[in-house]
Amino acid sequence: MLAYVFWHWPRPDVGRASYEQDLRNFHRTLATERPPGFQYSFVFRVGNAPWLPANANAYEDWYVLNGSSALDAINEAAVSSRSKQAHDRAARSAAGGGAGLYRFRRGQIDFASARVALWLSKPDGTSYDDFYASIDKVTRRSGVGLWGRQMVLGPTPEFCLLAPEEISLDKDLNATTQVLDPVWARDK
């Protein structure tokens, strides 16, 4: 399972309520259209992160997909048919954005309860097997899921742990924590 993750922030002249309503309208339309390979999406308001502009009121959209072939379908659906008007309205309100592609690695997929994202990297010199073994104790917790960046597509550290609450990790993982405030939640 893959997730296309899109970070974006509104233009300074666009109010938060208006921007978020445009986002909800787009995601609602996309959920109704259901392009091939698209499962569902979630939108979170997020705090500052090193890969976002300073002091941006940023958002993080997670589009859960069956696989990479769904990228073409979701891209086409966003700019055509029923989703086009809602997409274009949201896009006109955005000041900028960036994206990445992530594969589910361990734990549980539970966007509905996710309230924290911990972005982290595998320590230099650590094998992936050793990294996964060290993180397994965390991913066994209820509602915790580990996602890994694909092909260095995206501005973030290599991994993201989504969790329902703050998690203490080893300092050598250099985790950046973001609080997730749900804006759109459409489950399967």
Q: Where are the domains of the chain?
A: 2-185
Instruction: For residue range 98-144, list pLDDT tens digits in order.
Output: 999 999 999 999 999 999 999 999 999 999 999 999 999 999 999 99
Backbone angles phi, psi at 185, to 5 degrees: -135, 100
- The confidence score (pLDDT) of residue 112 equals 94
The letter for the amino acid at 105 is: R
- The confidence score (pLDDT) of residue 188 equals 44
Please tell me the CATH code under which domain 2-185 is placed. Answer: 3.30.70.100
Q: How far apart are CA 84 and CA 78, in angstroms?
A: 6
pLDDT tens digit at each of 188 positions of the chain: 999 999 999 999 999 999 999 999 999 999 998 999 999 999 999 987 888 888 788 999 999 999 999 999 999 988 887 888 999 999 999 999 999 999 999 999 999 999 999 999 999 999 999 999 999 999 999 999 999 999 888 889 999 999 999 999 988 898 999 999 999 987 54
- Which pTM value belongs to this model? 0.94
Cβ density class 84-108: b for 16+ within 10 Å, e for less: eebbeebeebbeeeeebbbebbbbb
Q: How far apart are CA 4 and CA 156, in angstroms?
A: 13
